[in-house]
Amino acid sequence: MRTFSSEEGKPRESRSKRFMAWKSRWVWYVLSLGTLIVLLTGIAFWWFTRGRSQSQTGDGDALIQPLNPRLVEKGRGVYEANCAQCHGARAEGQPNWRQQNADSTYPPPPHDSTGHTWHHSDGLLYRIVRDGGSIYETPGFKSAMPALGDRLSPEEMRAVISYLKSLWGPKERSFQAQVSLEDPFP
Ligand code: HEC
């Protein structure tokens, strides 16, 4: 009787042992798989954000083209003759440039680092100077920026934009070089 019951007990015990071993193996599988997923996600996230912050600072810095001093000088002359009367002698803009006028135009903004000219790509700046601010016009907004494409040659328009770039700091130059990649001068 004793042997019978112990013989019967043994396989039952080892079966549950085997089950425990199987269960703990699965716990390990799941744990290590989970750790692996967390690790890979972390690495992917790091890689992605690293690439992005590099392209916003490092790559933009590398894209900054040195300005041609002769083109900048020429642009200064173009600016003084065609832009200064509205945008100010030192491109400082009108003091109230953020406040819309009664006729729903805006006063001329600054072109130095305090304005937002440097947010625009080379291609867009060229189109604004050539075709005027009316390229922006939407209901409720009218532009008082004249089209100067008839008065200025393509080289003069590029020169005046070079002059505006000479008024910006490294941060503005870097940003503007980056956005110009997709929309360069025509
Ligand atoms: C008669 C006045 C006047 C003259 C002259 C003028 N502008 Fe403007 N300009 C404006 C006004 C007003 C605005 C703002 C309206 C708008 O955003 O469309 C403006 C806007 C701009 C903008 C867009 C700025 C931004 O941050 O979006 C650029 C670039 C610009 N002017 C460049 C020039 C250049 C370069 C010249 C000379 C070659 C010039 N402007 C001559 C009145 C003038």
Tens-digit pLDDT profile for residues 103-133 = 989 999 999 999 999 999 999 999 999 999 9
Q: Is residue 159 part of a domain?
A: yes
- For the segment 30-48, the average pLDDT, to the nearest whole number, is 89
Does residue 73 sit in the same domain as residue 136? yes
Q: Indicate if ligand 1 lies below 6 Å from the C-beta of 129.
A: yes
Does residue 41 sit in the same domain as residue 109? no
pLDDT on residue 106: 94
Atom of ligand 1 nearest to the CA of 148: 38
Tokens of 154: 């393509």
Is residue 93 scored above 60 in pLDDT? yes
Residue 184 has phi, psi (to 5 degrees) of: -80, 180
For tokens 């006729």, the residue is: 103
CA distance 117 to 126: 11
CA distance 132 to 125: 10
C-alpha distances in Å from residue 183, one per residue of 123, 176, 180: 5, 10, 5
Q: What percent of the chain has pLDDT over 90?
A: 66
Give strand pairing partners of 141: 138
CATH number of the domain residue 138 falls in? 1.10.760.10
Does residue 147 sit in the same domain as residue 74? yes
Pocket test for ligand 1, best of 76, 82, 86, 126 (most atoms within 8 A of CB): 86
Q: Which of 29, 63, 97 is the last residue of a domain?
A: 63
Is residue 4 scored above 70 in pLDDT? no
Q: Which of 46, 63, 80 is the last residue of a domain?
A: 63
Atom of ligand 1 nearest to the CA of 136: 18
Is residue 56 scored above 60 in pLDDT? no
Does residue 58 sit in the same domain as residue 74? no
Give strand pairing partners of 138: 141
CA distance 71 to 162: 7
pLDDT on residue 44: 87
Does residue 112 sit in the same domain as residue 155? yes
- Please tell me the total count of domains within the chain: 2
Does residue 168 sit in the same domain as residue 99? yes
Question: Which residue has better confidence, 60 or 76?
Answer: 76
CA distance 51 to 112: 29
> Is the Cβ–Cβ distance between 108 and 128 less than 8 Å?
no
Query: The domain containing residue 119 runs over which residues?
Result: 69-180
pLDDT on residue 58: 53
C-alpha distances in Å from residue 184, one per residue of 19, 147, 156, 180: 68, 19, 16, 5
CA distance 186 to 179: 15
Q: Is residue 20 part of a domain?
A: yes
